[in-house]
Structure 1
Amino acid sequence: MEVTLYDGTGHPVAYIADDQEHSIYLWSGHAVAYLNGEHVYGWNGQHLGWFADGVVYDVRGQRVGSIAAKCPYSVYSAPSKYSKYSKYSKYSRYSPYSRPGFSSGYSSQSLEDFLKGGAVGNV
């Protein structure tokens, strides 16, 4: 089952696909990141942050997004999904950052920009 990820204001930004890699796609159909356990990695190999208890955290431990049940605002309905683009080959993963204490506050970086930080190619 695919899971929608919302930004801090309840807007749908991306979704986690129901595939073996737990790929994270933007609504445009581009695969930009994936889950490895609780770690969020970009296709470019960068460790972007964590996905813990339904919340996406950046490397500083600040929230950047969440599933609907963890969003602090009522969520907007998700738009229709575009066709998925072919995935690039994954780059080798960099070592993950040490896990910080997680904050309940939101980062100034948007969820979309956070995820695009892991993209390969033009997104």
Structure 2
Amino acid sequence: MSIYLWSGHAVAYISGENLHGWNGRHIGWFVNGVFYNRLGHRVGSIGSKCPYALYATPAKYAKYTKYAKYARCAVYVRPGLSSGYSQEPFEEFLRSGAVGLV
């Protein structure tokens, strides 16, 4: 499953429970609808798993053509997963796996 930013750029994909950036780096895990960073802290979640009230979904941009995926880097050992949230913004977390985005 590919993950896109609202701008339409593909930045990451899910392989099993592992979350890889489009650049091939292992950036975290996706477990039961929750995204975790490499330290095991929650960074984001799908809407049905979010513990907070959500705003209405904004209109999405058209999806850009995907870059070719880079070879996957080694997967980190999964730490104990925390119920606390990371201070890192979700979009910044996803952009760490992007190719060609600033």
| TM-score band w.r.t. shorter chain | over 0.9
Of 41, 48, 72, which aligns to 2:20?
Answer: 41
Where 1:50 maps in the other structure, the secondary structure is strand
Aligned length: 102
Corresponding position of 1:95: 74
Unaligned runs of 5+ in 2: none
Unaligned runs of 5+ in 1: 1-21
Quick one: higher RCO (CA 8 Å, sep 6+), 1 or 2? 2
Corresponding position of 1:29: 8
Root mean square deviation of aligned Cα: 0.8
Preserved contact between residue 11 and residue 21 of structure 2 (Cα < 8 Å): yes
**TM-score (structure 2 length as normaliser):** 0.97
Of 58, 61, 86, which aligns to 2:65?
Answer: 86
Amino acid at match of 1:109: E
Cα deviation, residue 68, structure 1: 1.5
- Counting aligned pairs with the same residue, the percent is 62
Moved over 4 A (4+): none
1:51 aligns to 2:69 (yes or no): no
| Larger strand percent | 1
Corresponding position of 1:73: 52
**TM-score (structure 1 length as normaliser):** 0.81
Cα deviation, residue 122, structure 1: 2.3
